[in-house]
Amino acid sequence: MTTLDNLLTIITSQHSEYAKSILNKKDFDILNSLTSSVSGPGFITENQGKLLTKILQENRKKLENLTEEITDALTSNRWSRPFRRVEQIKKLYIGHNDHGDLALVIEFSFSSQIRKIIHEFTSKLENFQIVKSSKKGTATLNEKNIVKMVDALTPLNFDIHETIKTHYEIIKSWTRPVYENQFLLTTIVNPNFQRHITEDLGIETAIDQNIINDRSLRYQYFLENPKNHGENLVECIANRSKSRVWIDRKQHDLTAVISALIDLKRLPMMVVFENGSDDHVLAHLQNLSNSLEKNGIFERVGIYFRQENNEVGSQFNKLISEKQYNYKLDDTTQVVAVQSGKLPKFFLKTAWRPMSIIALNTKMGMRHGKISVYSNCCDCIIEWDDEPVLHNILRTEIAWQ
């Protein structure tokens, strides 16, 4: 009696032209693909076998020359070899991301149902990224991500590493009022906290309420009084609830944004240019130069990328030369500028770190890649654009296949 896989081979080899003429293209292509699988060392999976059976059942009347053989094969439901077993992987553990940093790693075998569920909740994670050429994804290793991932993956019977489970239980055991009271600005007595504040602002710096509110994210303390989200730009930035804050460039020009950051003692500063047309990049540089000079910044500025020496690009490069925006990156550098997605390697070899970052119309540029990862070191990231870009808007359909 003919097995189903042998029948498949007969259809696609001995009766190929006939099958191609009567079957729709999708079914014929699937049969050809399954033929390669059944002749290979791994055979086919049980799900592939069900798919083959379904196609044969739906098309046996069309395949008139083979109707009897198809009926007999479907009735016996025999196969020449056992189905290939698919390893079911569903794991959550602590590993490393593409940049070598510790991260939460999710790994699982392809499943359209699980993929859909994971796609929905990963859009709420911080810095979730797909590992290229792999059925893995990574997210920032922090408390919020741990809770969200454990809550979402436990019902799916994922194998969750014991270390993550321990962290999860500790985090869930926290009582918010008790936890916050330990980290009120007025109750923190740790000498390291006082030292870092002093190194940041200096002993003689006058500290107003805006600066106190602004540094709460950087030094992770709470305030007894609720933040006042304010009516001016300084207060808007100082009272942000997250590291990223959107500033409408139609309401506030770049000069005002830089002025507000200076008021908040937020130098040194990194400016991220978009990967746009030469005209746009030149316009941004001219705008940045004017804004810096209006705020009294004429030196110790490094623009660390160049344009091609075409008509517009040469103007860009000439302006950098004229303004002497080629200052070497060191502890005294006030302002640096890079292009979205391109971080010079020497940034990783120096102790220089930005106190603030301004993204100039970069759209997606601050959401993934090297600049995105590097920006995690900063607690004040300004997205200066016409409209806000949602934190995970780059989340496209996850290619886990």
Q: What CATH number is attached to the domain comprising 354?
A: 3.40.50
Q: In this predicted structure, what is the pLDDT of residue 40?
A: 84
What separation in angstroms does the CA of 207 have from each of 23, 123, 196, 198, 204?
A: 77, 38, 14, 11, 9
Same-domain check for residues 249 and 379: yes
Same-domain check for residues 71 and 97: no
The whole model's pTM is what?
A: 0.60
Same-domain check for residues 190 and 166: no
| Listed residues 124, 143, 172: the one ending a domain | 172
Residue 115 within a domain: yes
Same-domain check for residues 255 and 374: yes
Residue for token digits 């099958």? 19
Q: How many Cβ atoms sit within 10 Å of the Cβ of residue 283?
A: 15
User: Is a pLDDT exceeding 60 seen at residue 306?
Assistant: yes
Residue 281 within a domain: yes
Residue for token digits 């705008």? 287
Q: In this predicted structure, what is the pLDDT of residue 398?
A: 29
The number of angstroms, rounded, from the C-alpha of 343 to the middle of its chain's C-alpha atoms is: 16
The per-residue pLDDT for range 125-178, each reduced to its tens digit, is 888 887 765 678 899 899 999 999 999 999 988 999 999 999 999 999 988 777
Q: Identify the weakest region by mean pLDDT among 188-197, 311-320, 337-346.
A: 188-197
Same-domain check for residues 168 and 181: no
Distance, in Å, from the CA atom of 365 to the CA atom of 275, rounded to the nearest integer, reads 8
Handedness of CA 281, 283, 286, 289 (dihedral sign): negative
Q: In this predicted structure, what is the pLDDT of residue 337?
A: 96
Residue 190 within a domain: yes
Distance, in Å, from the CA atom of 49 to the CA atom of 52, rounded to the nearest integer, reads 5
Residue 312 within a domain: yes
User: Is a pLDDT exceeding 80 seen at residue 196?
Assistant: no
User: Is a pLDDT exceeding 60 seen at residue 203?
Assistant: no
Cβ burial of 45 (10 Å; 0-12, 13-18, 19+) is middle
Per the CB < 8 A criterion, the answer to whether 71 and 138 are in contact is: no
Domain with 381, as residue range(s), is 242-385
User: What is the mean pLDDT of the segment spanning 198-227?
Assistant: 75
User: What is the mean pLDDT of the segment spanning 17-30?
Assistant: 88
Residue 127 within a domain: yes
Give the whole-number percent of the chain exceeding pLDDT 90.
Answer: 41
Q: Are strands 102-108 and 136-140 parallel, antiparallel or unpaired?
A: antiparallel
What separation in angstroms does the CA of 25 have from each of 53, 155, 356?
A: 17, 39, 56
Same-domain check for residues 103 and 9: no
Distance, in Å, from the CA atom of 108 to the CA atom of 305, rounded to the nearest integer, reads 40
Count how many domains the chain has: 4
Say which residue, 21 or 181, is predicted with more confidence. 21
The per-residue pLDDT for range 95-130, each reduced to its tens digit, is 988 777 899 999 988 777 777 877 787 778 888 887
User: What is the mean pLDDT of the segment spanning 286-305?
Assistant: 97
Same-domain check for residues 276 and 330: yes
User: What is the mean pLDDT of the segment spanning 193-205?
Assistant: 66
User: Is a pLDDT exceeding 50 seen at residue 395?
Assistant: no
Residue 335 within a domain: yes
Residue 390 within a domain: no
Q: In this predicted structure, what is the pLDDT of residue 394?
A: 34
Q: What is the mean pLDDT of the chain?
A: 84
Residue 236 within a domain: no
Q: What CATH number is attached to the domain comprising 102?
A: 3.30.780
